[in-house]
Structure 1
Amino acid sequence: MTISHGTILGGLSTVPDLEPALTGYRDVLGLELVEEGMLAEELAASWNCPANTGSPYAVLRPKSGAPCWFRLIEQPAHPHFKPTTTYGWAAFETTVEDVWHWPDALPADLFEIVGPPKVLENIEPAFIPMQALGTGREMIYLNQVLGDLPDTDLPRAASPVDRIFIVVLATPDRNRSIAWYCGRLGLTRGADYTLPYSMINDAFGLSPDTQTTITMVSEGRMPIVEVDDYPVAATVRARHDGMLPPGNALVTLAVRDIDACTVDWIAPPSVRDGALYEGRRAACAIGDGGELIECVEVG
């Protein structure tokens, strides 16, 4: 299978208890469990989270076989973490076959629905989004794709819940973050959209008609990172010393040539085995918004 430069290979979320989270992703969302274990010291160090060494983890994949892995890592919840109010990864957007199935299918003890399915305003209705929080307060969008945008191809789901096709980044400086991904990873700035963003407005207690500008960072017609303007009240995400950020913690992207990425790696690129890596070179960096962004070389 050919994997394109910029493909989202995975999203990693932290959860306070791995077992119920695994029940949610495997038994409810229908993803396939492909690997379990304890986080290796070298990998934890490469993410700048040495205190996560030995943390239980699980890796899941869509039944479609798409090259996208959902990783869950157990660590204590942080009392000051509130979703959609801090900088870093804000959400992972997945493509689903039937968005209207999910409001009644998500158990309340495993998922909190924060945005029921609705048709977006001010942009072409290419998909119907729905938002839910998992047990680690990680945000997952369940989007049913209806069609493509004028400059963007959106993937149709080939399993009930399929791949992550957009990752959402909250950043203190949208243009600077866009420049980071374009200049350092060789991606392309896409279109801007301005719309009432209910997740942000609700989180900050803003008027429902408050407008937010978002920009897509892409590779050709493939969307990758949605970079969102955040209100001035947004803050740096609180986290335990030496551990991953709570919630949506880390994103992994495919790159053609890891040596061509002009970033400061936390640790030098090295060959990694197991699910997602499959013997490829990988390294992790900290983006301009403080987010953890891991790159895996696909040639």
Structure 2
Amino acid sequence: MIKSMTGYGTAQFENENCSVSVEIKSLNSKYLDANIKLPRIFMEKEIEVRNLLSEKLERGKIALIIDFSKKEDDTPRVEINDALFRKYYGDLERLADDVDAPKQELFKLAFQMPEVAVSKKDDGNAELWQNIRSAVIEAVGKCDEFRRHEGQTLAVKLTEYKDNIGALLEKVLTYEDERIETVKARISQNLTELKGRADVDQNRFEQELIYYIEKLDISEEKVRLRSHLDYLDQVLDAPKSNGKKIGFIGQEIGREINTIGSKANHSEIQRIVVQMKDELEKIKEQALNVL
């Protein structure tokens, strides 16, 4: 089972305090390339979110956007320390009496003294983050499922291209005997023409003919090519998706196809080799999008 690196997932969360929307898009990339946009109050959670993406989606060019908005809240965000304010005010009032100073600004001065007005600790942020985190996990799960679905489509295409190469290889076999006989006939004709002008050692000629034909033999390449195609089939059916391995197998398939082409010495086989290369390029192109 293979997965595509193309994916999409969303999730929403809403309660009486806030609303959250999470959106994830992913495309192919050799590594994890994550662009994460978090609400300002949760910027320190970026590493945690990145780890979630790495664990589930593994790699790809991923864009994650969290749209967060708090609903209207009339609760004061400042706490007043009454006792401390009264103490500051009383001390300032006594000092004003001692120096016969005006008291109009005492209230303002006392209110601005340290720790009189303290910002409230927002204890709800921890709980809120857990809700956001759950939404992120849900969106990641949907993106992963999208990738699985796309992977099924990719698997069908890759199998089709692989089978096409196998079918073309079978076509090569139909020309193989003809190719060797053609080579033998051409060399024998050249030898007949040469005999009229020079002495020819028949034994040496036969040895050279065997050597030349062996140089054109593609038996090993056919065996290796079939083996690579079978291995590709196994990788496509494996439990874990491995696009990089598919790419490596594609390189090995390409080597065997190129060698067959260089040894072909036959116009029809050369044409078939071009068709095989075309199918292989399709495999390589699709493999780039496999996780």
TM-score by length of 2: 0.21
> Which structure would you say has the larger Rg?
2
State the structure with bigger RCO (CA 8 A, min sep 6), 1 or 2. Answer: 2
TM-score by length of 1: 0.21
Higher fraction of strand: 1
